Amino acid sequence: MMMAVNGSAQWYVGLVATSITITLLLISPFVSAHQNDKYPTTAETNDTSYLAKVINLLWRSSGSGYQHIWPDMEFGWRIITGTIIGFLGSAFGTVGGVGGGGIFVTMLSLIIGFDPKSATAISKCMITGGAAATVFYNLKQKHPTLDMPVIDYDLALLFQPALVLGISIGVAFNVIFADWMITVLLLIIFVGIATKAFFKGVETWKKETIIKKESARQSQLNEEAAYEPLPGGPIRSNHTVPTKKKETLRHDKGSLLENIRWGALGILFTVWAIILVLEIAKSHTTTCSVEYWVFNLLQIPVALGVTSSQAVLLYKGKRVISSKGDQQTQWRAHQLILCCACGISAGMVGGLLGLGGGFILGPLFLELGIPPQVSSATATFAMTFSASMSVVEYYLLKRFPIPYTLYFVAVSTVAAIVGQFVVRKLVALLGRASLIIFILSGTIFISAISLGSVGIANMIAKISNKEYMGFEDLCTYTA
């Protein structure tokens, strides 16, 4: 189990790092060849090194080349189609614990007509609405096999503060990175994660098949034993035991007050509130001023303080990830550090791409041996804090129009509740929690295809128009 924890965390951190490296080093020369037509160089410039050409491509000091596109809100086929896609994306996305941001961004940019960065911001608002509704639904739900909440608060304490910190970094990168860079990052990360999640779903399906066969065989043996004539024997007792077990397993709801771990929830809200105050204070400073960076840096001890405290408790054995049941992990220091790095990476990817951190946390929790129901619920719980933080930051940057945003948030909220109810019934009926994993994998894969296609089309159009395709300047950025 320790090898699994170590390998999974290293895989996810390595995937993000490799994606960024490939994006910046492999794609730059391709775009550079086209950019030279837009910005002709002198003979002296032509003799410069390859590195200088790449730097010239990726950075232009003359200001931003980005323009927002906010279409008017009019009832028509665009709104109707967007509503249907947004509803399905939220329903499936929240079930998988990923939010559905990949589907939202594509719908908002391709159908409604928003520019990619505004679509990213609105997507975050939709994720927040759907995640909040899902958390409210899950607060009363129980663990599928244990007498504990379906949300693992100890797991959330380890990842959520790091996730929120990563979001702040990711939002800044969203301003700086060009669209084509975001597209390449998205394709590499999503295809890798979707593939890994799919194979995890197949593995879980096979295990469930074995369990169902064993249960059917055991049930048949119990029925045969129950019909044996035992004069004076405790026939009623034979029926009482399985009935009691059945009632215990089906007791999937509890009191709201008893189901919530108020101490952990209070800590998570405190971290969220402190970082929110720092973000609001930062918005009233001059970008890149001393005060601006001070408020940014103050977020690090707040977030990492809580995460590291939880990591120390897990390392010493004073806390356990109880949702794993009997398969407890004896945590090592480097494993916990890797998990914290995964939390920050998930937040960075979420803030950068406008997606929920659940795209990384959900599959990672599954690799750690967390049951699919708990993995989905806990990833969504942590994602609610991080996504809402992104909403505040995007609002302060004036990155989305209010009317459109409120409408699609309402759509995603209703869809999330419907999706949770329907899929939970299907899992109980079929007895296959792997359904959640396949929904997770499918949602990520569809997001990769849709976002990747739109991103590549936009990149080709910009190359044809010889538009600027480098980094934006954070210090001179205007909404």
What does the pLDDT look like over 448-457, one tens digit per residue?
887 778 778 8
Give the pair of three-digit tokens for residue 428: 């109980």
Comparing 95-109, 137-151, 314-328, 376-390, the range with the smallest average pLDDT is: 314-328
Q: Is the pLDDT confidence value at 33 over 50?
A: no
Comparing 34-38, 310-314, 471-475, the range with the smallest average pLDDT is: 34-38
Q: Is the pLDDT confidence value at 368 over 90?
A: no
Q: Is the pLDDT confidence value at 14 over 90?
A: no
* Dihedral Cα 298, 299, 302, 304, nearest 10 deg: -120
d(CA 124, CA 362): 17
3-state class (DSSP) for residue 99:
coil
Per-residue pLDDT tens digits for 393-408:
778 777 788 888 999 9
% of the chain residues with pLDDT over 70 = 76
| Mean pLDDT calculated for residue range 30-43 | 45
Query: Torsions phi, psi of 61, nearest 5?
Result: -80, -5
Provide the CA 295 distance to its chain's centre, in angstroms.
Answer: 25
Q: Is the pLDDT confidence value at 477 over 70?
A: no
Comparing 64-68, 160-164, 206-210, 271-275, the range with the smallest average pLDDT is: 64-68
pLDDT at 242: 45
pLDDT at 74: 80
d(CA 357, CA 132): 14
Q: Is the pLDDT confidence value at 362 over 60?
A: yes
> Residue 92: which of 460, 421, 439, 427 has the closest Cα?
439
d(CA 31, CA 47): 19
pLDDT at 170: 82
Per-residue pLDDT tens digits for 340-349:
888 888 888 7
> Residue 303: which of 164, 130, 456 has the closest Cα?
164
pLDDT at 270: 92
pLDDT at 250: 45
pLDDT at 55: 52
| Mean pLDDT calculated for residue range 80-94 | 88
d(CA 338, CA 115): 35
pLDDT at 284: 85
Query: Torsions phi, psi of 70, nearest 5?
Result: -120, 100
The most confident of 217-231, 291-305, 428-442, by mean pLDDT: 291-305
Residue 104 corresponds to which amino acid? F
Give the pair of three-digit tokens for residue 80: 């109707």
In terms of Cβ atoms closer than 10 Å to its own Cβ (0-12, 13-18, 19+), residue 477 is middle
Q: In this predicted model, which residue has the larger pLDDT, 319 or 161?
A: 161
Q: In this predicted model, which residue has the larger pLDDT, 30 or 281?
A: 281
CA distances from 92 to 12, 116, 435 (A): 23, 22, 11
3-state class (DSSP) for residue 122:
helix
Q: Is the pLDDT confidence value at 64 over 80?
A: no
| Mean pLDDT calculated for residue range 423-436 | 82
pLDDT at 415: 92
pLDDT confidence tier of residue 410, bands split at 50, 70 and 90: very high
Q: Is the pLDDT confidence value at 231 over 60?
A: no
User: Is the distance from CB of 412 to CB of 130 less than 8 angstroms?
Assistant: yes
CA distances from 387 to 394, 460, 467 (A): 10, 31, 31
Q: Is the pLDDT confidence value at 239 over 50?
A: no
CA distances from 43 to 39, 40, 46, 63, 402 (A): 13, 10, 5, 25, 50
Residue 445 corresponds to which amino acid? F
Q: Is the pLDDT confidence value at 59 over 80?
A: no
| Mean pLDDT calculated for residue range 436-451 | 82
| Mean pLDDT calculated for residue range 104-120 | 83
pLDDT at 412: 92
| Mean pLDDT calculated for residue range 360-379 | 82
Helices and strands in the chain, H and E counts: 19, 0
CA distances from 185 to 17, 76, 455 (A): 10, 34, 11
d(CA 18, CA 107): 28
The rounded mean pLDDT for the chain is: 75
pLDDT confidence tier of residue 26, bands split at 50, 70 and 90: very low
pLDDT at 294: 92
d(CA 427, CA 181): 39
pLDDT at 7: 54
pLDDT at 246: 42
pLDDT at 227: 53
pLDDT at 47: 46
CA distances from 160 to 95, 153, 263, 264, 333 (A): 19, 10, 15, 11, 19
pLDDT at 35: 45
Comparing 28-37, 371-380, 385-394, the range with the smallest average pLDDT is: 28-37
Q: In this predicted model, which residue has the larger pLDDT, 308 or 360?
A: 308
d(CA 463, CA 172): 25
